Amino acid sequence: MDMTPERWRATCAYLGGVFGPLGEPIDGQLATLRQRAAAAGLPDIAVSPDVGRLLMLLASMAGPDGAGARLAVELGTLGGYSALWIARGLAPGGRLVTVEPEAKHADFAQGEFERAGMAARIELRRGLGAETLARLLAEHGPGSFDFVFLDAVKSEYATYAALASRLLRTGGLLVADNCLGSRWWITDAPDADPTAERDREAMDRFNRWLAGPTSGFLCACIANREGLAVARRVAPPGTP
């Protein structure tokens, strides 16, 4: 059956309705966070509820014993929506470091973490993604993280991934949002918007590298919303 734009919109609505807010751990605070973030002037670009639930599930399986991740990092906090989902999947005592360069976004997210009672599990670092990953690598050493989620500057994903490949332990998970699209779509013809075209080309290069034989990852793409790449580190940290 061919996928039409109307069918895709209906499919995304179904996924969001069934695999997002139904059941635990969604609650009133998390269920309304995206709307309150938009009302506060933050961009309405957070992941959908079904992607949030998937992030929680992946984080819950990312530990070395198949249990929750003990140490995780997210690039691109925005209003804190995806961070709260990820934090719910961590192992007992686990910690998420989430990175956000925009002060307005970081302030809003920190308030949400405190409101949700998750501030002790989520450390918000204000800074740029690549620089913060490099600092985490220096602080914790290679192979110290179980889970990395990329949802920041699309043209820098290759830089993020190079650092993440050293930061992740063998068996750890790298998850990347927008691997199929954002303001652009991965199969679009060259666009008149230079920024959109730059991001589309950068994401195509990232996808091909991640799926290729030299990345050190075993990966697949989940085609929901705007595409989620899920990759398992199969080579020791620091090796190609």
240 residues of the chain, pLDDT tens digit each? 677 888 888 888 888 778 776 555 567 788 889 999 999 999 999 998 889 999 999 999 999 988 899 999 999 999 999 999 999 999 999 999 999 999 999 999 999 999 999 999 999 999 999 999 999 999 999 999 999 999 999 999 999 999 999 999 999 999 999 999 988 888 888 877 888 889 999 999 999 999 999 999 999 999 888 899 999 999 876 665
- Give the predicted TM-score (pTM) of the model: 0.92
Cα Rg, the chain, nearest whole Å: 17
Q: In order of start, what are the domains of the chain with their CATH numbers?
A: 5-233 (3.40.50.150)
CB 16 within 8 A of CB 190: no
CB 103 within 8 A of CB 126: yes
Token pair for residue 165? Answer: 């490949």
